[in-house]
Each structure stands twice: as structure tokens, then as C-alpha cells.
Amino acid sequence: MIKTIHTIAFDGDDTLWHNESLYALTQEKFAQLLAPYHDAAWVDRKLYETEMRNMRLYGYGLKAFTLSMIETAIELTEGRIQGYEIQQIIDATKAIRQAKVALLDGVATAVAQLAETHRLMLITKGDLLDQEAKIAGSGLADFFADVEIVSDKTAVTYQTILDKYQIPAEQFLMVGNSLKSDVLPVVELGGIGVHIPYHITWEHETVGEQQQETAVYHALTHISQLPELVARLAG
């Protein structure tokens, strides 16, 4: 058992399985629905503003996305949106919920390999039922000793988890596609952050160049590189 890293934690969405691409496709359909009223760029901008405004009420996840789309549709059509069109929005987000979980390339092998030598944890944010369904449908649940579904990912959130499981920050490694949520808060606490970018990044998850340049973290292009990095960090 390699002991220099006590726990390896993974984000779920767009680190282990596809998620943002499903949301992006639904958002494209949403813009098409409102095309008679506004162009796609304006619809996207107003939807983002609504999501940010609603975050303190609804948090992250599919339900929040659905409610924000409905609210944006009512606002941008000045109440002219029809009931059957609202139903199209609801049906589109239900399709996300019912979609089969699709693992990213190389995830199954990397997770199984690391589970042989380390304690693995899954830390993901969003709607409880939605995230639980993804975990169950991923086929990876048995590899994780613990699962934490949180409302947000901040340094305080991670410190609470570290305290709960009595994990020293310097022996905690977090892997994710978001610098803002998965990497920088862990690095701030003295942990090890590993960034594996996804080809689509929600605007809310972006960080400035200065933050990227000053933080010390590991950047990989593919999760298949993770076992080698962990072995190298173990010396």
C-alpha cells in the first residue's frame, strides 16, 4: 500500500463521465426554441445570468438548469411562451436525466488500477438524486470507499471532508476537470490538485490566467496518465 498519498478523490461530471456535452446540446435546443424572439448568443447570455442569479436558491444540477431555462424563456418571450413549449424544455432535461452514463475514455482502467493501491473517494456537486443515479449507472461505485455529494466545492467544503475522514491535506489528491472547483481549493489547503481538462467548460467554472499561473498543480491531458503521476509522486 502506497502511503504518501492517503486518498485519491475524483470529480464525477466530465472527469469520469460525460455531462457538459449533454447540457450543451440541450442549451442549443433551447436557443432554437427561442429563435423567433432572440439570437442564440443573447439567449445563452440571459440563461447564464439567470443561472447565476438563481444559484443561491437552487444550487447546481439538473433541476436548477431546468428552472432557469423556464424562467429565462418566460422573460425573453415577455410571457408569450406557450405551455407546449415549456413542456419541450422539461422533456429535454428529462432526457439528460435518463441518458445512459457514458464513461470517458480510459476511466475504467485508470480507476481500477488506482483502487488496487489507494483509497478512492468520489466528490461531486449537484442534485442528489441525479448524482446518485450517475454513480450507480457508471459501474464504478464499488471502487470508491466513500462518496460525497456536495452543494458547492470550496476550500471550506474540502476541509470539512478532510476533517470528517481524518485525512491530512498533504496526503489528499483531487482529480477534476475544473480548476475552480476541483483543483485550486485543494491546493489552497496544501493538498495535491490534478487538472484534466474537458473540451467544454461551463463559463462559471473558468478562472483567470493569473490564478492558473500562480497555483501549483499537476496538469494531464488524459486520465490514463494518472496512475503514472501517482506512482511518481510516491517516489
Three-state secondary structure call for residue 90? helix
Instruction: Give the single-character DSSP code of 203.
Output: G
pLDDT bucket at 2, cuts 50 / 70 / 90: very low
In this structure, of 12-16, 29-33, 159-163, the range with the lowest mean pLDDT score is 12-16
Q: Beta strands 172-176 and 146-150: pairing type? A: unpaired
Spell 110-139 as b/e; 16+ CB within 10 A means b. Answer: bbeebbebbbbbbbbbbbeebbeebbeebe
Distance CA 213, CA 146 (A): 32
Q: How confident is the model over 99-128, as a mean pLDDT? A: 95
Please report the domains of the chain, with CATH numbers, ordered by start residue.
Answer: 7-17+102-233 (3.40.50.1000), 20-98 (1.10.150.240)
pLDDT single digits (tens) 39-52 = 999 999 999 999 99
Measure the CA angle with vertex 109, ends 105 and 112; round to 5°: 140
pLDDT single digits (tens) 202-234 = 565 565 665 555 568 999 999 999 999 999 998
Q: Beta strands 119-125 and 7-10: pairing type? A: parallel
What integer pLDDT is reported at residue 199 of this predicted model?
A: 76
Strands in 172-176's sheet, in edge-to-edge order, are 146-150, 119-125, 7-10, 172-176, 192-195, 218-219
CB 30 within 8 A of CB 69: yes
Q: Phi first, then psi: give them for residue 110, nearest 5 degrees.
A: -65, -45
pLDDT single digits (tens) 62-79 = 999 999 999 999 999 999
